[in-house]
Amino acid sequence: MMKPGTSKTFQEYADTVFAPYISSELQKTDRFDLVWDVYLPDSLKATAREKREKAPGRELCPRL
């Protein structure tokens, strides 16, 4: 939902995008529910994710 922008690490993302968004939302409401997605080891999602990781990918831009 929230684009990472120029963040290179999760810490940068948390500091520049995630925390400011949460803070602004908390100003407008009495309740804020945050839901994290989890890949359980034997779930269908985990199996699909594993297949994606093994599939050959394409590099869209050259690495520097």
For tokens 């968004």, what's the residue? 21
Identify whether 3 is part of a domain.
Answer: no
Identify whether 45 is part of a domain.
Answer: yes
Range of the domain at 29: 10-54
Identify whether 63 is part of a domain.
Answer: no
Claim: this prediction has a pTM higher than 0.85: no
Provide the pLDDT for residue 27: 92
- Please give the chain's pLDDT, 64 residues, in tens: 677 788 888 899 989 988 998 899 889 988 888 887 776 777 787 777 777 777 666 665 655 5
Identify whether 60 is part of a domain.
Answer: no
Provide the pLDDT for residue 59: 60
Kindly write down the DSSP assignment for every residue of 13-42, as one continuous string. HIIIIIHHHHHHHHHS-S----------TT
Q: Into how many domains does the chain fold?
A: 1
For tokens 């684009």, what's the residue? 3
Identify whether 62 is part of a domain.
Answer: no
Identify whether 22 is part of a domain.
Answer: yes
Identify whether 17 is part of a domain.
Answer: yes
Judge contact between 12 and 5, C-beta under 8 A: no
